[in-house]
Amino acid sequence: MTRFPVHAPPRVPASPPADIAPLIRGLRAGERATLARAITLIESKRPDHQRSAHQLVQSLLPHTGAARRVGITGAPGVGKSTTIDALGSYLTALGHNVAVLAVDPSSARTGGSILADKTRMARLAADARAFIRPSPAAGTLGGVAAKTRETMLLCEAAGYDVILVETVGTGQSETAVADMTDFFLALMLPGAGDEVQGLKKGLVELADMIAVNKTDGDNIARAKAAAAEYRAALQILTPRVEEWQPPVLTYSALTGAGVAQLWEQVLDHHRRLSATGALAARRREQQVKWMWALLEERLRRRLASDAKLKTRLPQLERAVAEGALSPALAVDDIVATLGL
């Protein structure tokens, strides 16, 4: 009789450790100061803090998942912060609790950016129903995205039912935010002269909606023309899901005109994808991607910290550069050195 190996089930902590129990209680009570401390724990690079952070997130998982997760991107100057300020204020006026998170892989965003973000979002910064927090510069986009995902879960556990995730609008950061949110909103400028050209950059293929900002004053005609070009171009692209054809709207973050319509589209998208199970499937896929992103980040840290590899790497790099060793064999050597 053939015997198959029995695999142990995933290890899940039976109960939260004592040191994070106060954080759990404070988060569940909606305490903003506790939320800030919990996020600081998530962001810490100390091994003991990381272990506690992982246990904290695991303990809070049953209290997450109910929020609307919306990613917002756009080129610099498009008005992302002003849009978030207008949309967030509209939502808090409706009774929602709104958390704003920012993803920025560059080292330029430091603690001082927190004040800058709050300055650009003046109404939300003073709103008791809003919470604004940028992600730390973690050196790699994967690290930043992982911290943002965990921060999002903490905010949900603390009672925030709308999570707005802002990206700097460059390259991989857009994909990272699209992979952690339910709805991805791409903001565009009117009359920029590159409406259709922008489609070739991959951004619009990720978008669940395109919104042309600054539709006010002398820009109204240009904004409507830009929107028409995007609508025509989107007809030749395959939507991310069958249930949803990305709409193109115009609005003004400055005056607030059209902001309510933006949110209605988010709700309509949620209703349609929830009805078919597509939203649940998207979130399951995102969870698995998150797991692999964390694994890659862990391996990257191992590569950077291994003492034997630090000695070996310069020799391997020199041999590869001189053509004496193939890259594939160099990778085999690295893996062997790490004992993988």
Tens of pLDDT, residue by residue over 146-170, are 788 999 999 999 999 999 998 865 5
Residue 18: DSSP 8-state? G
Q: In percent, how much of the chain has pLDDT > 90?
A: 49
Collapsing DSSP states into helix, strand and coil, what is residue 158?
coil
Tokens of 222: 């240009």
pLDDT attached to residue 130: 96
User: Looking at residues 49-78, what average pLDDT do you find?
Assistant: 92
Confidence band, pLDDT 50/70/90 cuts, at residue 8: low
Residue 131 corresponds to which amino acid?
Answer: F
Query: Is the Cβ–Cβ distance between 181 and 50 less than 8 Å?
Result: no
pLDDT attached to residue 124: 93
Which of 119-123, 129-133, 171-175, 246-250 is predicted with the least confidence, judged by mean pLDDT? Answer: 171-175
185-208 pLDDT, tens digit each: 999 888 755 555 555 456 777 889
Query: Is the Cβ–Cβ distance between 98 and 233 less than 8 Å?
Result: no
72-83 pLDDT, tens digit each: 988 888 889 999
Out of 143-147, 211-215, 305-309, give the one with best mean pLDDT.
211-215
Q: Is the pLDDT of residue 339 over 50?
A: yes
Tokens of 299: 């391996």
Query: Is the Cβ–Cβ distance between 174 and 73 less than 8 Å?
Result: yes
- What is the torsion angle, in degrees rounded to the nearest 10, for the CA atoms of residue 110, residue 145, residue 271 and residue 243? 130
pLDDT attached to residue 4: 46
Q: Is the pLDDT of residue 174 over 60?
A: yes
pTM: 0.84
21-28 vs 32-43: helix crossing angle, rounded to 10:
130
197 or 223, which is more confident:
223
Residue 237: DSSP 8-state? S
Rounded-to-integer distance, Cα 165 and Cα 256, Å: 20
**Rounded-to-5 percentages of helix, strand, coil across the chain:** 55, 10, 30
> What domains does the chain contain, in order, with CATH numbers?
15-63 (1.20.5.170), 64-275 (3.40.50.300), 290-338 (1.10.287.130)
pLDDT attached to residue 13: 52
Q: Are strands 98-103 and 68-74 parallel, antiparallel or unpaired?
A: unpaired
Rounded-to-integer distance, Cα 272 and Cα 38, Å: 34
Rounded-to-integer distance, Cα 248 and Cα 326, Å: 49
176 or 92, which is more confident:
92
